[in-house]
Amino acid sequence: MNLKIDKQDVEYLHHSRMESFLLEQHDRFELIKTEFTVPNIDELINLVLWNHNTGTLHWTGLEYINALILYQWFAEKGIDAIILWDMAENPTCSYVVWADVEMKYWEGE
């Protein structure tokens, strides 16, 4: 199956986003999927995130497919992305996609 997904479609795949606090609170996240070869979130922090902008976190809910599509969409745009599991219960745990973009990426077209 080949889906054509644009920025507006992607907006519907996540329910909230904010500037990343992954460096400060990495212990609340589990690493699910990344193109970087790292065994765990701590190694990911050391290897990747210190060398990037702050980035943005995108919460996609309980459905993995939403996180995977968002992750793939960023990858196709040449943007580094990571799928994580947020263990904080706000009100429930959730998949979240970190992407190496700033919040202003989502402003306008």
What are the strands of the beta sheet with 16-19, ordered from one edge? 16-19, 56-61, 94-99, 81-86, 29-34
Burial class (CB in 10 A: 0-12, 13-18, 19+), 78: exposed
Domain residue spans in the chain? 32-106
10-residue averages of pLDDT along the chain (109 residues): 82 90 87 79 70 81 95 91 90 91 72
What pLDDT does 69 receive?
A: 94
Q: What per-residue confidence (pLDDT) applies to 91? A: 80
Q: What is the pLDDT of residue 108?
A: 62
Q: Which residues does 42 contact at the CB level (< 8 Å), separation at least 6?
A: 26
Look at residue 55 and give its three-state secondary structure: coil
Q: What is the reported pTM?
A: 0.84
d(CA 44, CA 31): 8
Q: What confidence score (pLDDT) does residue 54 get?
A: 77
The residue type of 82 is I
